[in-house]
Amino acid sequence: MAEISSDVIRGYNDIIILYLLLTDPSYGYEISKQIRLMSEDKYIIKETTLYSAFTRMEKNGFIESFVDDDLAGGKKRTYYRITPAGREHYRAKCEEWTLTKEVIEKFIADEGRHV
């Protein structure tokens, strides 16, 4: 089975993470788990990649972090939520993806054509 190149997917980590924050705040491990689940194990984001994305997006004002106590164990957990600027960035990245996909599909050979 083919794997997704980390170089290719890197540019889409923001859109993936922001999508998962559109409805509710979440924390790193849960976001990582959702990515793995929704991609059917085709994309497993590395912890360093995830937290680098959090840091970059927070610096750019797309997300904000806050600490909440885990009621079950009493341990503090950092949650992330999308900001209005993050929602706008998400919409822009979705439009960019639509255009990118449209262009790249023109260069993908159909079965029996050029291959």
Query: Model pTM?
Result: 0.85
Q: What percent of the chain has pLDDT over 90?
A: 74
In tens, the pLDDT along 5-55 reads: 778 888 899 999 999 999 999 999 999 999 999 999 999 999 999 999 999
**Inter-CA distances, 19 with 25, 79, 82, Å:** 11, 15, 9
Q: What is the CA radius of gyration of the chain?
A: 17
Mean pLDDT of 86-107: 95
In tens, the pLDDT along 43-66 reads: 999 999 999 999 999 999 999 999
**Inter-CA distances, 31 with 34, 72, 104, 107, Å:** 5, 19, 28, 33
Residue 67 in 3-state DSSP?
strand
Answer whether residue 111 shows pLDDT above 70. no
In tens, the pLDDT along 87-97 reads: 999 999 999 99
Residue 10 has what pLDDT?
85
